Amino acid sequence: MNILFIGDIVARAGREVLHQHLKSVQEEFDIECTIANCENAAAGFGVTPKIAKELLSWGVDVLTSGNHIWDKKEILPYLDSQPRILRPSNYPSVNPGHGSVVINTPRGDAVAVINIQGLSFMPPIDDPFRAVDRELAQISDGAR
Catalytic residue among 19, 21, 68, 98: 68
Query: What CA–CA distance (Å, rounded) separates 65 from 59?
Result: 17
Angle formed by the axes of helices 49-57 and 11-28, to 10°? 20
Q: Is position 98 annotated as part of the catalytic site?
A: no
Amino acid present at 76: L
Contact of 62 with 113, CB cutoff 8 Å: yes
Hey, which residues does 111 pair with through a beta bridge?
103
Contact of 137 with 110, CB cutoff 8 Å: no
**Minimal CA–CA distance to 117: which of 141, 142, 95?**
95
Hey, which residues does 62 pair with through a beta bridge?
35
Alpha-helical segments (H) within the chain: 11-28, 49-57, 75-81, 128-138
Active site residues: 68
